[in-house]
Amino acid sequence: MTEPTGTLAARDAAHLIHPVTPPREMTGGPGPRIVVDADGWWLTDDRGRRIIDGFAGLWCVAVGHGRPEIVDAVHRQMQTLEYFTTFHGQSHPRAIELAERIAALFPPEHGLNHVMFGSGGSEANETNFKIVRLYRALRGEDRRKTIVARHHGYHGLTIATMTATGIMPMHWNFGPEPPGFAHVAAPYCYRCELGRTYPECDLACARSLEDLVEAEGPDTIAAFIAEPVIGAGGIIPPPPDYFPRIREICDRYGILLVVDEVVTGFGRTGTMFGFQQWDGVRPDIVTLAKGLTSGYLPLGASVVSDEIWDTISARLPEQMPFSHGYTYSGHPACCAAALANLDVVEAEDLPANAARVGAHLMERMRELERFDSVGEVRGMGLMVGVELVADKETKRGFTRPHGACSLVEHEAWERGLYARAMGTEVVGARPAPHHRHGDSRPDGRDPRRVRRGDGARADAARAGGVAPAAEDPGGHAGRVLRAGPAGPLRPGEGGRGRDRAPDGPRRARRGIWTVAVRDSALEVRRLDTEVADATCTIRMRDADYVAMVNGDLPGDQAFVTQKLRLEGDMSRAAELMGLGIL
């Protein structure tokens, strides 16, 4: 018997904390979407509706929901050995078998033969960071501490992995952050933060890693970590020659390459691992999770090269342990789930299927580019992102970040599809690699026909914010500051904002400004020196600020690339955004 929808939602709001979710949405907003059943690539919600799982849970479910092979393997293991530890030199058959099986998935010449397990991707990357620094210390390279990541990259939300993550809003109010991390430009060609155009740029984004190494000193850089395809940061595949160039830079300066395959591993991109899309790319460490068990049980893994682990083994002082681990490292039931899942992935050749179905999905999704507010459709294999814009020609973003893609996510769910609003103004689709071209609904209708027809597709687009450029779903239609009757605001100029009298352009002086809000009154003053006790400090070049308020530089892009820097209470910065000051 299904519990009434309102009862479940109320209980959820009273007790459950949701990751990466605005709390007020659960209490005063639309509330949670509650899924009660799943089978294959279908979800059933608490209202009894069938919904296509177009995001594989959370990038996880590679083989589909309800596979009896995995359920039975876990059941058998739980009857035999439900838990034992791998601490202090102890082991059990399933952990041994899975470590051996994972090592065999990689090209033998890469020497990726050593595996440590955790409960997910964040734990695996924590392990990677500690292994990198231990390796450097044991080689006598004590200054090589810095781990370089990329803007828009996602590597987890523990304190260390959050610091490596290049999605800056995820850092809000969790400081101080640990030292030893740096970020460089992402290969985000549609919105190049360096202002370049591929291929004339000569891979300036890859060169930004080399520039950082030269500026900081090669003897300070320990490792570079990257996703083969940026996932949560916007589903951004790199140019074809990007990773070969990165590998060459790492080799030239003796930098370890950590490839984060949490999202891209186990067939998602059309090869078993994402890095295999490019010839000559050899990871030193690989991060695995999600598709390792298809999400049936929590498991992550760090896969480490012979050179790194042999160095650690040989140089640790006698009787000195490798002082790292987790209670559930190598959990027997989780390892059993992974082994059964890998049987399915290999038997059904899911990487090849993802390549075939992904090509068809990309072809159909690119039909959306005819809408004015679809700036770009991009992806690789069964990873597709649709970037939304308020103005297609200028790529101007919406005034209120994430409003458009959130509306699309909501409308898609209501129409029977789970797609996801990403960390940027991107809607992501990531169906499981087991989806087959021509799969149909139980009633015999092809699910690809759900939105067929110009009228239905346009209605769905407008309802979700994929509308003509003049319609801004953020609620501030056409907010463009202007210096006079013709043209947008320029650096060094004041603007005729909505609250200004039409008295022509005014010159704004560069410098330090303070905004004080007290008793519902707002005061702006120019200062000679910074305020020591400011609640929040905002730093930005005037040209970048002008680009942002004119909509030419989306606010989330400014923040992620650190053209907009916020210090102090981020909640106050969010309030300023609501007032239209940012």
Distance CA 338, CA 343 (A): 9
Alpha carbon distance 152, 167 (integer Å)? 5
Q: What is the pTM of this model?
A: 0.84
Tokens 């003796």 map to which residue? Answer: 254
pLDDT at residue 343, rounded to an integer: 98
As a whole number of angstroms, the distance between CA 283 and CA 275 comes to 8
* Residue 72 pLDDT grade (very low, low, confident, very high; cuts 50, 70, 90): very high
| Structure token pair of residue 245 | 């160039």
Q: Cα(301)–Cα(86) distance, rounded to whole angstroms?
A: 14
d(CA 151, CA 185): 6
533: buried, middle or exposed (CB in 10 Å: 19+, 13-18, 0-12)?
A: exposed
All structural domains of the chain with their residue ranges = 1-29, 33-65+350-463, 119-317, 480-582
Higher pLDDT: 446 or 16? It is: 16
303-339 tens-digit pLDDT = 999 999 999 999 999 989 999 999 999 999 999 999 9
Q: Is residue 82 predicted with pLDDT exceeding 80?
A: yes
pLDDT of residue 272 exceeding 50, the answer is: yes
Q: In the predicted model, what is the mean pLDDT of residues 22-41?
A: 89
pLDDT of residue 472: 39
More confident residue, 568 or 24: 24
Sheet (strand 50-53) strand order:
35-39, 42-45, 50-53, 417-418
Asked whether 81 and 92 are in contact (CB, 8 A), the reply is: yes
For the domain covering 119-317, report its CATH number. Answer: 3.40.640.10
**Pick from 116-130, 227-241, 262-276, 476-490: least confident:** 476-490
CB of 248 within 8 A of CB of 198?
Answer: no
Average pLDDT, whole number, for the chain? 85
DSSP-derived letter for residue 529 is: S
Structure tokens at 331: 């959990």
The answer on pLDDT for 128 being more than 70 is yes
| Percent of the chain with pLDDT strictly greater than 70 | 82
For residues 93 and 442, the model is more confident at: 93
536 — pLDDT class (breaks 50, 70, 90): confident
Q: Which pLDDT does position 525 carry in this prediction? A: 80
DSSP string across 134-180: HHHHHTT-TT--EEEEETT----SSHHHHHH---GGGGTT-PPPPSS
pLDDT at residue 2 greater than cutoff 60: no
pLDDT confidence band for 437 (50 / 70 / 90): low
With beta carbons less than 8 A apart as the criterion, state whether 115 and 103 touch.
Answer: yes
Give the per-residue pLDDT at 510. 66
Residue-level pLDDT at 460: 37
Read off the amino acid at residue 362: M
**Distance between CA 534 and CA 199 in Å, rounded?**
44
Nearest to 154 by CA among 58, 65, 63: 58
How sure is the predictor about 491, in pLDDT bands with cuts at 50, 70 and 90? low
Helix-helix angle 454-463:403-414, to 10 degrees: 130
Question: β-strand 300-305 against 374-380: which pairing, if any?
Answer: unpaired
Mean pLDDT (whole number) for 377-385: 96
pLDDT at 495 over 70: no
**DSSP tag of 109:** G
Whether pLDDT at 149 is above 60:
yes
Greater confidence (351 vs 461) lies with 351
Residue 448 has pLDDT above 80, yes or no: no
Residue 570 has a pLDDT of: 66
Question: What is the four-CA torsion angle of 18, 22, 26, 27, rounded to 10 degrees?
Answer: 130
Nearest to 3 by CA among 42, 45, 31, 32: 45
Predicted local distance difference test score (pLDDT) of residue 449: 37
> How do beta strands 564-568 and 536-540 pair?
antiparallel
- Asked whether 335 and 300 are in contact (CB, 8 A), the reply is no
Quote the distance between the C-alpha of residue 34 and its chain's center: 23
The two three-digit tokens of residue 207, written as one number: 């060169």
Q: Identify whether the C-beta of residue 190 lies closer than 8 Å to the C-beta of residue 222.
A: no
Helix (H) or strand (E) holding 39: strand 35-39
Tell me which long-range contacts 209-215 makes (C-beta under 8 A, separation of at least 24).
209/148, 209/184, 209/246, 209/249, 210/249, 210/253, 211/184, 212/148, 212/182, 212/184, 213/249, 213/253, 213/255
Reply yes or no on whether the pLDDT at 469 is more than 70.
no
Distance between CA atoms of residues 22 and 14, nearest Å: 15
317 Cβ contact list (under 8 Å, min separation 6): none
CB atoms < 10 A from the CB of 224, how many? 26
Q: Does domain 480-582 have CATH number 3.30.1050.10?
A: yes
- Number of C-beta neighbours around residue 44 at 10 A: 15
Mean pLDDT of 86-94: 97
Contact 133, 145 (CB under 8 A): yes
Of the listed ranges 346-360, 389-403, 446-460, the least confidently predicted one is 446-460
Query: What pLDDT score does 581 carry?
Result: 61
| CATH architecture observed for domain 33-65+350-463 | Alpha-Beta Complex (3.90)
For 543-557, write each residue's pLDDT tens digit: 777 777 676 777 767
**Per residue in 556-579, pLDDT tens?**
677 778 788 877 776 677 666 666
Candidates 66, 74, 231, 217; CA nearest to 144 is: 217
